Amino acid sequence: MSIAATVLDRIQRVTQLPKVSLHEPTFGGNELKYVTECIETGWVSSVGEYVNRFERELAAYTGAAHAVVVSNGTSGLQVMLELVGVRRDDEVLVPALSFVATANAVRHCGAWPHFVDSDIRSLGMDVSKLDAYLREVGEIRVDGCYNRRTGRRIAAVVPMHTFGHPVDMPALMSLAERHRLEVVEDAAESLGSWIGDRHTGTFGRCAMLSFNGNKIVTTGGGGAIITNDAVLAKRAKHLTTTAKQPHAWAFFHDEVAYNFRMPNLNAAMGCAQLERIGSFLEAKRLLALRYAEAFRDVPEVSLFLERTGTKVNYWLQTLLLAPEVASQRDEILAVTNAAGQMTRPVWELLYTLPMYGACERMTTPVADDLARRIINVPSSPQLIAGVV
Amino acid sequence: MSIAATVLDRIQRVTQLPKVSLHEPTFGGNELKYVTECIETGWVSSVGEYVNRFERELAAYTGAAHAVVVSNGTSGLQVMLELVGVRRDDEVLVPALSFVATANAVRHCGAWPHFVDSDIRSLGMDVSKLDAYLREVGEIRVDGCYNRRTGRRIAAVVPMHTFGHPVDMPALMSLAERHRLEVVEDAAESLGSWIGDRHTGTFGRCAMLSFNGNKIVTTGGGGAIITNDAVLAKRAKHLTTTAKQPHAWAFFHDEVAYNFRMPNLNAAMGCAQLERIGSFLEAKRLLALRYAEAFRDVPEVSLFLERTGTKVNYWLQTLLLAPEVASQRDEILAVTNAAGQMTRPVWELLYTLPMYGACERMTTPVADDLARRIINVPSSPQLIAGVV
Ligand SMILES: Cc1ncc(COP(=O)(O)O)c(C=O)c1O
Ligand SMILES: Cc1ncc(COP(=O)(O)O)c(C=O)c1O
């Protein structure tokens, strides 16, 4: 059997369905009930009890002191970068291997992404390589770390927890302290992922979650900022809600701000989804075990599993092809998709996209390699019958 | 009776309710049905049939060739300004009398608002005053109109149709041609308002609609770009949906772009709301007549009515105080709000806000005057029993 045929066969053994998408939401809980309540009471818009409740419950679940819901993860990341002091023409360290939104949010602040290589153990930033790189490229001045080559300030670093697998945050935090960088976590994919007993997104100054339709918990579209910093949380709320000062009737807005609100209708759905995250996580963990088992006798393909000390949400199940079959990736993708088992490569590396081709970066051999070898396979929790 | 007591009495005669908000949505049509369908089929997120349908139906309703739904009006305005070529440090002409979002969207492009006085006949931009002003301040160069004072390019003008009352768009369009300005309409408040047989928002190069919770048609939060320009529409869709090139599986994004999508869940609500716009408009028109009648014997207060040649949506009913009682505006606001009849002044003039205090502007005596004399009164269509 060709490797493509083998991969298809193993995926089919796990999914046991003729046609499967990569990730689909499931709404078997209180979603309809809460949304109906919004419609019946008329509270569908930007102010409402579900907005407050979703924020409270996100904070409680992640252990962050504060959560501020927003219209989506990209906008949340943009606002956080502004709030931690990223300015026009600063640079921000982001993984070369990420969804394009991580870099776009940097550009939306007028700053420039600066790309970092990956760690094959986490799929996220390689912290020790970054440390060595910054010793060489960076120079500490009174207002932070500067890139010697470009003369620009390197204001922040944005670790991203790929498919739920956490970056080594304790190491990254001490790196950030050494090099005077603000840390803003892109936790879009890692709701339900932990390092020890700390939730991803609670290590840096603040973090963004995404509730896009393909995420572990969805609000249709939406996101949240989580943080332990009360001042930052308050500023984030203000800046994402047109900076209006409270008044019985007057419209006094005190700074240039955004309409990045999450409507109550969407927050209602989020509350219902969050109630069910335990069963989603359980199903995804079981699914990971089934894929791992199904590929046990295929030496060229392995399931990427959580590393010791972390607890991963297994948001997207991730196959890693052995280097010798990497050249067959596109055939595998073609065969599996043609057969109704939806699979996907990882993102194009960000520095290969036309708008980011001229940005600063270190050498990225690991990201380059991973980009050729990752395949995501069907990951919906409802593939595990009976759990969700 | 004091003027405040009289105003309260007249509002109560119209609303006939002990407690009334300024504007509340009503969801007695297919809202719940369509939203339920999204939840039951799982199509809640950024791609879905209601997104396409809402776009088609908005285009059909307004007569624009294309509509692109977005996460809200502010973001839609920002994207349109970018698309018509507004660049960092350009200036954009906006009314001094508008909601803060009109100016914020300009700043989000890195450009500067430049404030224009109001026409007391429309509550919108005074086109002939602007014409005279540009003759004095503007200078036509090869790439457009420049502000002689600042040396900056004046790239565009954003007429806003206040509370649904249309700006004199034919006059504005010929002004724009004379002075080489792009025209982007802020039609956030004017869905259902027409000049002759043309819908507001179809005169300029493109326009934004808002479906915020307080608007005539709501999606919880949301907006749309409408335009007759097929290229602009295509670019707007691309730029608001991460600029991903179509491919079976690969993630290739070809420019810095946004996640400004409207989720299908919200579009579903929009479709149901738009089905009912006829009855909303009918109710609001009746309500305007009732207010006009109720204040007929109060010479100090008049209802602002549509002018000949226009058909207004009467989104927010607008009282205009006579100059001699303008000083009692705050008392009227206090008395009516305390009595449960929600009323509101118009926005603080944008040049009085701290972040816009240093921006360019012409003298704005009419806007200054209007800002002291406008009071919005309860405007929900369901105040007219039996129509909605
Ligand atoms: C790594 C990463 N960053 C950012 C985002 C952007 O989040 P959103 O789609 O909610 O804007 C996503 C998800 O789409 C993501 O996966
Ligand atoms: C005149 C005007 N411009 C812009 C906006 C912004 O629209 P949105 O609230 O959908 O961002 C609004 C409505 O809130 C508005 O009334």
Mutate to test the interface with B, among A104, A249, A264 (most CBs of B within 10 A): A249
Mean pLDDT of B184-198: 98
Q: Which of B92, B78, B265, B341 is nearest to B188 (CA)?
A: B78
ipTM over 0.85: yes
- The residue of chain B nearest to residue A247, with distances taken between CA atoms, is B344
CB contact under 8 A, B345 and A266: no
Coil/strand/helix, residue A146: strand
User: What CA–CA distance (Å, rounded) separates B89 from B105?
Assistant: 13
Which chain B residues have a beta carbon less than 8 Å from that of A46? Answer: 212-213, 220-221
Backbone torsions φ then ψ of B209, nearest 5 degrees: -115, 155
Cα(A285)–Cα(A149) distance, rounded to whole angstroms? 45
Ligand 1 atom nearest residue A76's Cα: 11
What the block records as the tokens of A226 is 């989580």
Q: How far is the CA of B140 from the centre of ligand 1 (A)?
A: 43
Question: B104-123: per-residue pLDDT in tens?
Answer: 999 999 999 999 999 999 99
- Cβ of residue B358 closer than 8 Å to a chain A Cβ: no
Check residue B208 and give its pLDDT.
Answer: 98
Helices A264-275, A49-62: axis angle to 10 degrees equals 40
Average pLDDT over every residue of B290-313: 97
Does A305 contact B at CB distance below 8 Å?
Answer: no
Closest-CA distance of chain A to residue B166, Å: 22
Task: Mark the ranges of chain A whose per-residue pLDDT is less than 50.
Answer: none
Q: Please give the pLDDT value at position B1.
A: 82
Q: What is the dihedral of CA B17, B19, B20, B21, to 10 degrees?
A: -170
* The dihedral formed by the CA atoms of B185, B190, B196 and B197, expressed in degrees to the nearest 10: 90
- Ligand 2 mean position to A112 CA, how many Å? 30
CATH number, span A31-274: 3.40.640.10
**A42 and B32: CB-CB below 8 Å?**
no
Residue B300: which of B254, B332, B268, B340 has the closest Cα? Answer: B332
Q: Answer yes or no: is pLDDT of B293 > 90.
A: yes
CA distance B13 to B16: 5
Whole-number pLDDT of residue B351: 98
Amino acid at A243: A
B101 touches chain A (CB under 8 A): yes
pLDDT computed for residue A48 by the predictor = 86
pLDDT band at B360 (very low <50, low <70, confident <90, very high): very high
Q: What is the pLDDT of residue A46?
A: 79
Task: Compute and round to an integer the Cα radius of gyration of chain B.
Answer: 21
Q: Are A272 and A30 in contact (CB under 8 A)?
A: yes
pLDDT in tens, A149-181: 999 999 999 999 999 999 999 999 999 999 999
B235-to-A290, B49, B244, B258 alpha-carbon distances in Å: 43, 21, 12, 12
Chain A contacts of B24, Cβ < 8 Å? Answer: 42
* Helix boundaries (H) for chain A: 3-15, 31-41, 49-62, 73-83, 100-108, 127-137, 169-179, 230-240, 264-275, 277-294, 329-338, 365-373
pLDDT digits (tens, 9 = 90+) for A229-284: 999 999 999 999 999 999 888 889 999 999 999 999 999 999 999 999 999 999 99
Q: Which atom of ligand 1 is nearest to the CA of A186?
A: 3
| Cα–Cα dist A138/A135, whole Å | 6
CATH for B3-25+277-383 (3.40.50.300, 3.40.470.10, 3.30.70.100, 3.90.1150.10) = 3.90.1150.10
Amino acid B312: pLDDT: 98
Q: Write down the pLDDT at residue A387.
A: 66
Whether the pLDDT of residue B387 is over 70: the answer is: no
Find the residues whose C-beta lies inside 6 A of ligand 2.
Answer: A 259; B 72-74, 98-99, 101-102, 160, 186, 188-189, 210, 212, 223
Which of A74, A97, A100, A376 for mutating ligand 1's site (highest number of atoms within 8 Å of CB)? A74
Nearest to A12 by CA among A295, A297, A296, A366: A295
Q: What count of other Cβ atoms lies within 10 Å of the Cβ of residue B231?
A: 10
Would you kindly state where each structural domain of chain B is located, as residue ranges? 3-25+277-383, 31-274
Q: What is the pLDDT of residues A96-109, one digit of tens each?
A: 999 999 999 999 99
Find the residue in A nearest to B220 (Cα): A45
Inspect the interface and report whether the beta carbons of B212 and A46 lie closer than 8 Å.
Answer: yes
- Kindly report the number of other CB atoms within 10 A of residue A21's CB atom: 14
Give me the residues paired with residue B253 across strands.
B244
Return the HEC string of chain B: CCHHHHHHHHHHHHHCCCCECCCCCCCCCCHHHHHHHHHHHCCCCCCCHHHHHHHHHHHHHHCCCEEEEECCHHHHHHHHHHHCCCCCCCEEEEECCCCHHHHHHHHHCCCEEEEECECCCCCCECHHHHHHHHHHHEEEECCEEEECCCCCEEEEECCECHHHCCCCHHHHHHHHHHHCCEEEEECCCCCCCEECCEECCCCCCEEEEECCCCCCCCCCCCEEEEECCHHHHHHHHHHHECCECCCCCCCCECCCCCECCCCHHHHHHHHHHHHCHHHHHHHHHHHHHHHHHHCCCCCCEEECCCCCCEECCCCCEEEEECHHHHHHHHHHHHHHHHCCECCEECCCCHHHCHHHCCCCECCCHHHHHHHHHEEEECCCHHHCCCCC
Closest by CA to A369, choosing from A342, A337, A346, is: A346
Which atom of ligand 2 sits closest to the CA of residue B74? 11
Q: Does B355 touch chain A (CB under 8 A)?
A: yes
Beta bridge partners of A224: A69, A209
A261/B266 Cβ within 8 A = no
CA A320/CA A296 separation, integer angstroms: 13
Residue A175 has which token pair?
A: 């790196």
Strand partners, B117: none
Per-residue pLDDT band for B354 (boundaries 50, 70, 90) equals: very high
Beta bridge partners of A240: none
Residue pointed to by tokens 């992640």: A62
> Best mutation site among B79, B88, B258, B383 for testing chain A: the one with the most A CBs within 10 Å?
B258
Closest partner residue to B42 among A24, A47, A333, by Cβ? Answer: A24
